[in-house]
Chains A and B, each alone.
Chain A
């Protein structure tokens, strides 16, 4: 037992000394804040330490592939809509009515329930100027909060980590999945990702070496606590890589530094995640789907007090060029039911007031359906905000669908997505949005 504590401390020590300014959840929040404030050069870098107990939490839910917003929040009474969608158009009897113009897709019973309970906001017509119809570029734009003609390297959540979370535990950002989203890319790599807590740890394997599994694990820990970690390499300079390689002969420069850092984060976070997932029980029934499982795990981690400010989950499959109806039906059903279960779970934990869910998709789809029973890449679309204290209802205005209201056949945005981000940052994460988004966007009033 004593040995365990020493090891734990050693890891923390390594992280804090080697990687600079890192403090763990074992340090009282006020002390951590003090140190961070002392170190922070920039005046507006108000460090947000996640304690796992009281801070607010943002869950970002990506609907990958470009969800057809028009058949999600349906203008069922609009003639232009039905003219453009003779086959795919949904009528009054297909939808869950919100008012005499608009309704949810029939599969979104989960969202309708949340909406009626005052836990869901629909933000209509979200997009950005000069929309890009490429999945990858448009996703990148959403992930980095950049203008469509400018390429940004770091993600908007990464910039939040850089600005507000220096010194936080690596779990301040958690992605459920095996790939880190670009939204997390930061100057100082932050955040961990995993999809199954049961296997998210070093396993000694069936055949222990001399002295049993503990010896193997101890050796693994030592071999991954490399003391010569260099400071993060300067962005983009070939020169600095050469210098690094020269200073540490035969170690291979930049890639290895990054892996060493990740190895340390993995060590530090895996025990904690494993412990929580083994202890905390879900108190709601989730649909058996990837998204359902992801949100189930997030609820456990929140319930177990993992010090996290941002969770990131995703659901794919929305690229419905062909035969859209059954695919979208299945995906939206899964989405609504999963989020509804998540909210019920958090409510039972008494944590709902701390959590906000925001969805996004890289674009909506073309107003006019194509000949393959599907829709092609489009532009603006609605997104959803879910939480205890949200301004429930429909926010923003539904953009017009008449041919003269469209741009190259696509819906024009009425709300810039960065106004949604600004609203989330300012009113939910309680931080200034300008340093993170690069300039001032009028924050949307969400809560």
Chain B
């Protein structure tokens, strides 16, 4: 179990696998570079991101703004019902703009930032502590949570679980901010165990009600936009939770949870599934959990073992994971060395593929795996590929989005969309003159860069026939060929 992969298996295929899974993929040159480093230094190049500076500035609104809130509240108080509605609509519009900016901000970090492994971890934690702006309705809270995941991306399990519980977005999302000692709200108490740390069947219903009592007092200062402990709503009576008795509070609950061996197994299984694309065998997971526990519940040493071990490079693991929509979108832009489309276009694309960032379908997050693929989302991938690669001949208007299925509604993005342009892929940048003139070398180059495996059956012939229907093909034809490669089953896996 968990033996390091031998150096003689380190090649372009295994290096590409590491870059795709621990990061978000890249062009052939980036894969080559990792392959040249050897396995130890390749893993370190991704994992030890602390030494790489990431100067991305926060959005300018990303801080508590008590004045803004005070003014808004005062204005609402003295307003007529009509004015009230106008004020609320204006604020909603402002928040929507900020959310759009936030989506673009994060996607750019994933696509272009220097720490792709850290961003991949943020994506993992976002799916794990799945919190949606649909209920939280506060862009600053959503940004703050995202930054917390980044700060603790490979940190300590207990610290992360505790901070995630005191996180303002979470306090709103699972109603903990509303819980009072007279009537404890069980929502967070239940989900923290069921979905975040232990899994169903590893606690009793009594544990849920007792944890809900202990958690009372964890609250939110809406004015200052931060966590606050309020002793007057805390139930200070005795509770019994997971075998501990006393006047327990929220911190005690989190400590009791992480002390359970199951808390380690739960999270290592989820991490393995996320990165390896399949649930670990019981034996493997026990070994992974042991690594986490012997390292004082710090994730970094565990992740290093994971990305270094033989099991991670097993034939059943390589190229057997369905790309998540984010991986598909960001990975495509990295692989094809093209810009991501504007945030609003990315939003529409990701929604049509089933992964709306900052708005997971529910607190369980995205199911992922094969569930990413339905007849609906597969056709959407095939069609969205055209927008990404071939770009838009003319600028898009808000109308183009209102016609999309599940795309942003016209009333939501308003006229703010204005005219948007998607550049598409530049064949000159990623292909040699020979590849752009010779169908044989072009097909081989696309196979290598995009599929990272061989075409199947008649696929290669179909692509050749497509290119061969004209004696000389131009850049637009090459873009169409790239899109066709992306419209295959193999492109959907990594």
Which positions in A face B, CB cutoff 8 Å?
A: 132-137, 170, 175, 177-180, 192-196, 198-203, 205-211, 215-216, 218-220, 222-228, 238, 241-242, 245-246, 248-256, 258-260, 262-263, 265-266, 269-270, 321-322, 370-372, 376-377, 408
Contacts and interface: CB of A to CB of B under 8 A. Distances in A.
A59 to B, nearest CB: 18
A222 B194 CA distance: 45
Given A228-B456, A252-B318, A259 B405 contact: no
Contacts of B377: 178
Contact of A266 (B183, B379, B405): B379
Given A135-B362, A209-B473, A372-B175, 12 more contacts: A180-B371, A196-B405, A210-B469, A215-B466, A216-B484, A223-B458, A248-B456, A250-B453, A255-B277, A266-B376, A371-B185, A376-B186
B456 A251 contact: yes
Contacts of A193: 374-376
A192 B375 contact: yes
Contact of A198 (B200, B405, B477, B488): B405
User: Which residue among A209, A220, A248 has the maximum number of chain B CB atoms within 10 Å of its CB?
Assistant: A209
12 contacts: A134-B190, A206-B393, A207-B393, A209-B469, A209-B481, A216-B480, A252-B320, A252-B453, A253-B315, A376-B186, A376-B187, A377-B186
A322 B375 contact: no
A194 B405 CA distance: 9
Contacts of A377: 186, 190
A180 to B, nearest CB: 5
Contacts of A205: 383, 386-387, 390, 480, 483
A180 B374 contact: yes
B69 interface: no
Nearest to A268: B375
B375 A245 contact: no
A202 B386 CA distance: 10
A199 B473 contact: no
Contact of B390 (A177, A207, A254, A255): A207
Interface in B449-480: 453-454, 456-459, 461-463, 465-467, 469-470, 473, 476-477, 479-480
A195 B363 CA distance: 23
Nearest to B471: A210
Contacts of A206: 390, 392-393
Contacts of B200: 132, 134, 136-137
B21 interface: no
A4 B23 CA distance: 44
A216 to B, nearest CB: 6
A208 B480 contact: yes
Nearest to B472: A210
Interface string B336-361: 00000000000000001010000001
Contacts of A222: 458-459, 461-462, 465
B490 A251 contact: yes
User: Which residue among B390, B477, B489 has the maximum number of chain A CB atoms within 10 Å of its CB?
Assistant: B489
Given A223-B459, A228-B457, A252 B493 contact: yes
Contact of B479 (A134, A137, A200, A207): A207
A246 B376 contact: no
B281 interface: yes
Contacts of A215: 466, 469
A245 B316 contact: yes
B376 A178 contact: yes
B110 to A, nearest CB: 22
B278 to A, nearest CB: 8
Contacts of B227: none
A350 to B, nearest CB: 29
User: Which residue among A223, A249, A258 has the maximum number of chain B CB atoms within 10 Å of its CB?
Assistant: A223
A246 B194 CA distance: 38
B453 A195 contact: no
B370 A220 contact: no
B281 A372 contact: no
User: Which residue among A248, A251, A269 has the maximum number of chain B CB atoms within 10 Å of its CB?
Assistant: A251
B354 A179 contact: yes
User: Which residue among B321, B362, B363, B454 has the maximum number of chain A CB atoms within 10 Å of its CB?
Assistant: B362
Contacts of B373: 258-259, 262
A258 B370 contact: yes
Nearest to A137: B200
Contact of A376 (B185, B383, B386): B185
A251 to B, nearest CB: 6
B403 interface: yes
B178 interface: yes
B466 A216 contact: yes
A297 B404 CA distance: 16
Interface string B151-182: 00000000000000000000000010010101
Contacts of A260: 489
A256 to B, nearest CB: 5
B431 interface: no
Contact of A259 (B361, B362, B378, B406): B378
A195 B406 contact: yes
Contacts of B462: 219, 222-223
A211 B489 contact: no
Contacts of B277: 255
Interface string B25-36: 000000000000
Nearest to A370: B183
**Nearest 10 Cβ contacts at the A-B interface:** A196-B405, A371-B183, A210-B470, A252-B319, A209-B480, A222-B462, A205-B386, A259-B489, A266-B375, A219-B466
B490 A252 contact: yes
Contacts of A262: 373-375, 378
A246 B315 CA distance: 8
User: Which residue among A178, A179, A206, A224 has the maximum number of chain B CB atoms within 10 Å of its CB?
Assistant: A178
Nearest to B391: A207
A107 B346 CA distance: 38
A255 B322 contact: yes
Nearest to A323: B178
A216 B462 CA distance: 10
A199 B383 contact: yes
Contacts of B354: 178-179
B327 interface: no
Nearest to B205: A408
B371 A179 contact: yes
